Amino acid sequence: MHTKPMSDSEGEFSEWKNAKYTNCQICNSTDVSYEEWDSSCGGYIDYKYRCNTCAHTWWVDGPDA
């Protein structure tokens, strides 16, 4: 679990990938992408999702949360 809120700049993002089997929480579109965020300390991997239809974004904590 994160001990404090972390800034995007405290880690590295992967390339955007297609998020199969994921629907947008707002418009229910299946045109969703995600990128992995790996913290610079190596302790966390989280996932940032983006709906390519309505531009809604949301985060999902990785298994280390």
Is residue 1 in some structural domain? no
Is residue 3 in some structural domain? no
Segments forming the whole domain that contains residue 16:
8-60
Q: How many domains is the chain built from?
A: 1
Is residue 33 in some structural domain? yes
pTM: 0.80
Is residue 45 in some structural domain? yes
* Interatomic CA distance for residues 26 and 43, integer angstroms: 30
pLDDT tens, residue by residue, 9-61: 667 889 999 999 999 999 999 999 999 998 877 778 899 999 999 999 999 98
Q: For residue 1, what pLDDT is reported?
A: 47
Q: For residue 43, what pLDDT is reported?
A: 74
Is residue 2 in some structural domain? no
Nearest CA-CA partner of 22 in 51, 64, 43, 45: 51
